[in-house]
Amino acid sequence: MSLKVAVFGATGAVGKEILEILAERLFPAEEVFALASRKSMGVEVSYGEKALTCKDAETFDFSQVDLVLMSAGGDVSKSWAPKIAAAGAIVIDNSSAWRTDPDVPLIVPEVNPDAVDGFAAKKIIANPNCSTIQLMVALKPIHDRAGIKRVSCATYQSVSGAGQAAMDELWTQTKGIYVNDSVDPDAFTKQIAFNVIPHIDVFMEDGATKEEWKMVVETKKILDPSIKLFATCVRVPVFVGHSIAAHLELDNELSADEARDLLRSSPGLLVVDKQDDEGYVTPVESVGEFATFVSRVREDPTVENGLALWVVADNLRKGAALNAVQIAELLLNRGHLKA
């Protein structure tokens, strides 16, 4: 099969990760193109053991590729995804631009793979928000077994979720504090080094941030519209790896032991849950891993059929690039992606 694939936004953190994962998972592409803005023309990016030279997305002929993996921001996607689809390629988009469009599937392959068949309406598939992805992987088996009425969660999101400038700001501020330099915020609203910021994306009329709203609407679209979800999304001074403390109210009783056994046998999950110093996973251990990790599984006696989970994943991998590549593999396996 002589598939041709383009990665649009190849110089960004997620774009680079997509190229790495395509190579790691031996995705059957005859040729892979790295695309970026004109200012990045000629920049080299890694694809396995090869170096790809970035081409200008503005002048690229998209009719020569079968699949485009986009990670170039919402405005770029809104403008370019329909044009790319019209040229004949399927688009998998990592931005928030298409997630709520009823004609665009929002996919986590371990959770709602059948929804991918709806891609034909616009030839665009949306990749969910990073925190939503890892939460859905953990909640799906529990919802199938016991039913989920309500989820209350607090996220602890790394700075890489806000891009390279945010990672640079954490690094610069951390160094600056040690030498008494100023730590004026730029990428964030407040100092991020040695601090936490309960503010991701813009505020909405009801007091929630858009990041919190995304988790609500995406959970309903991916898993079940009847699930009630409340989130507080927090940026923390961690470079890579998102964490979520999730508190569930179930329709039916599910003990912590039963939940652990269920999650251990579910796709995409690794359970590390012992009552000792090494018995849980933190963001540092998740970096570079494909799995979503679950720890601290506990029964919550404050609500009927309550269950608590600690969910951790590499947000650049499972929370973005890996999920996009898994969607591409899903298209391939279902016969939707053909050279």
Q: Tens of pLDDT along 13-44? A: 999 999 999 999 999 999 999 999 998 988 99
Q: How far apart are CA 48 and CA 20, in angstroms?
A: 6
Look up tokens 């953190």; give the residue.
Answer: 13
130 is catalytic: yes
Look up tokens 């998998």; give the residue.
Answer: 92
Pairing of strands 44-47, 50-53: antiparallel
Rounded to a whole number of angstroms, the distance between the first and last alpha carbons of the chain is: 6
Identify the active-site residue in 54, 143, 233, 242.
Answer: 242
336 is catalytic: no
CB contact set of 25 (below 8 Å; sequence gap of 6+): 325, 329
Pairing of strands 29-36, 3-8: parallel
Q: Which two tokens stand for residue 81?
A: 């995804």
10 Å CB burial of residue 222 (0-12, 13-18, 19+) is buried
pLDDT (0 to 100) of residue 1? 59
pLDDT (0 to 100) of residue 339? 61
Residue 50 backbone phi and psi in degrees, to 5: -100, 160
CB contact set of 91 (below 8 Å; sequence gap of 6+): 68, 70, 81, 84, 85, 123, 124, 125
Q: Tens of pLDDT along 170-222? A: 999 999 999 999 889 999 999 999 999 999 999 999 999 999 999 999 999 99
Q: Residue 17, Cβ neighbours under 10 Å: how many?
A: 24
CA angle 8, 212, 93 (to 5 degrees): 15
Type of residue at 78 = K
The strands making up 3-8's β-sheet, listed across from edge to edge, are 55-56, 29-36, 3-8, 67-70, 90-93, 124-126
pLDDT (0 to 100) of residue 58? 94
Q: How far apart are CA 176 and CA 183, in angstroms?
A: 6
Identify the active-site residue in 130, 143, 153, 247.
Answer: 130
Look up the pTM and report it.
0.96
pLDDT (0 to 100) of residue 234? 98
Tell me which residues of the chain have a pLDDT lower than 50: none
